Amino acid sequence: MSGRSSVRLLGLVFTIFTVSLLYSAVALFSIRSVPLEDHGIIEIRHQRGVGAHPKALAIREAQAAPKSAFIEISPRNYAFYAVADGRNGNMGPPQIRILMAIESTDEYTCQYPKGSVVPGKLYEFSENHRKPERAFYLNCPLPENENLDEVDEIKIIHRGNSSAVMGISYRIPPESAVSPDLKLSICVPVIFGAKYTAAHLIEFVEMNRMLGVDMISIYAGADLGGDARKVLEAYELEGIVEVIPYLMPFAPSSIWYYGQLITVTDCLLRHTGRSKFVAFHDLDEYMISQESDGDALVNRIAVLEKLFANAKLGSLRISTLYFDPSVLHPPITLNNMHRVAYADTRFTKCVLRPEYGIHHTSRVIQDDYEIQAVSEKHLNLVHYKKQSQAGVIDNYFSHHFGDRFSEAFHAKIKQFGLQGF
């Protein structure tokens, strides 16, 4: 074969290869009707279970612990996750909602996979307190040519030029379609730094285990200490704790209280279809039953089942008993018995049915769902926080759990090799 023929043959092969490559690229692009764009921030993708109906996926996707992360839409405007909300209620018909932390509130649109672009409708959360970064839902009405169960991602466009693509993190079915496996779960919004030690975490988990909790979801900053992180990882292996990394792409001071509105709302959806009841606590708070059957304490689950017998009840507000944490050394539940004489009904925490909520307790999905205050004769929140006139002696924890809890606590202290106990 002559040199000229060889050159022609190589040119022909190169041409065929190039055409095949271009054809494959076009085919791949046609499958992805919404192109991905690189904004230099991690993109979160989630895979569906094979053969599973989309409305049954909420619990499985939640238990797979989707690692939600902030994605930049435009400078200083971020999305945290997208949810396919199949509920029809006071926030509108089934649609995509996107949880956002944003400074700019104008000109957001949503592009669905089949190409339809719809105006986004912003819903502002309460308690943003005029901070630069504020929590919003961007509601994206569902176009007529889209099926919500088939939407795997959505493109968010700001002012017509900046954009980001988000995969669907949660699929929320209608309220009547949920069938949770867990009874009671606790959400701990954000822990960071060295305020809480490994021993504090052990006490919180072990006491709540005795109080009947099934799962504790904890949002943790990157600066969480080594021993504390080691303890949480061990509890994750036991299946009673899940740790959700929470990294903010902006200064913590630019959003209200380290972005708790974001983590609380994420946790609410994380447990929709997964847990029957969800409570929101800090590590120095415990929800306790005040009901008894003779000398025996009625457990929290039985109390909650009775209180939520009303099918319209979406959330309970629980009054607070302040205990004086004069002894800071764990276990604080056994070392501190002085509290104020009255229950605070102004500053309360809530326990709720997650499928009834939009965010936390101040917004339910149907107008006829109720939010009620629960009597302190049934439940209380114990909060270890310094208050004046803590003159009542209350040995609730030592009386009901003392020896049994102390044994479990010190066994874990020994397991992790912690000193000073």
pLDDT in tens, 332-384: 999 999 999 999 999 999 999 999 998 765 689 999 999 999 999 999 999 99
pLDDT of residue 276: 97
pLDDT of residue 175: 95
417: left (phi over 0), alpha (psi -120 to 50) or beta: left
* pLDDT digit string, tens, across residues 266-276: 999 999 999 99
pLDDT of residue 163: 97
Strands (E), 263-312: 275-280, 285-289, 292-293, 296-297
Rounded to two decimals, the pTM is 0.83
Residue 14's pLDDT band (cuts 50, 70, 90): very low
* pLDDT digit string, tens, across residues 143-194: 999 999 999 999 999 999 999 999 999 999 999 999 999 999 999 988 877 7
Is the pLDDT score of 307 beyond 60? Answer: yes
**Which of these, 241, 240, 244, lies nearest to 262 by C-alpha position?**
244
* pLDDT digit string, tens, across residues 406-416: 999 999 999 99
Residue 68's pLDDT band (cuts 50, 70, 90): low
Contact predicate 257/246, CB 8 Å: no
Residue 27's pLDDT band (cuts 50, 70, 90): very low
- Whole-angstrom Cα distance, residue 172 to residue 94? 9
230-239: average pLDDT: 96
pLDDT of residue 8: 46
Instruction: Identify which has the larger pLDDT, 117 or 64.
Output: 117
Is the pLDDT score of 403 beyond 50? Answer: yes
* pLDDT digit string, tens, across residues 184-223: 999 998 887 777 899 999 999 999 999 999 999 999 988 8
Three-state secondary structure call for residue 29: helix
- Which tokens sit at 229? 């992180």
pLDDT of residue 288: 96
pLDDT of residue 26: 33
- Which tokens sit at 87? 């509920």
Is the pLDDT score of 391 beyond 80? Answer: yes
- Which tokens sit at 85? 């909300």
33-50: average pLDDT: 25
- Which residues, at least 6 apart from 321, have a Cβ–Cβ distance to it below 8 Å? 339, 340, 343, 344, 376, 380, 381, 382, 383, 394
Kindly report the backbone phi and psi dihedral angles of residue 226, in degrees, each rounded to the nearest multiple of 5, phi listed first: -60, -50
The long-range contacts involving 140-146, CB below 8 angstroms and separated by at least 24 positions, are 140/95, 140/96, 140/97, 140/98, 140/110, 140/112, 141/92, 141/93, 141/95, 142/93, 142/94, 142/95, 142/96, 142/112, 143/112, 143/114, 143/116, 143/118, 145/114, 145/116, 146/112, 146/113, 146/114, 146/116
pLDDT of residue 58: 40
Is the pLDDT score of 44 beyond 80? Answer: no
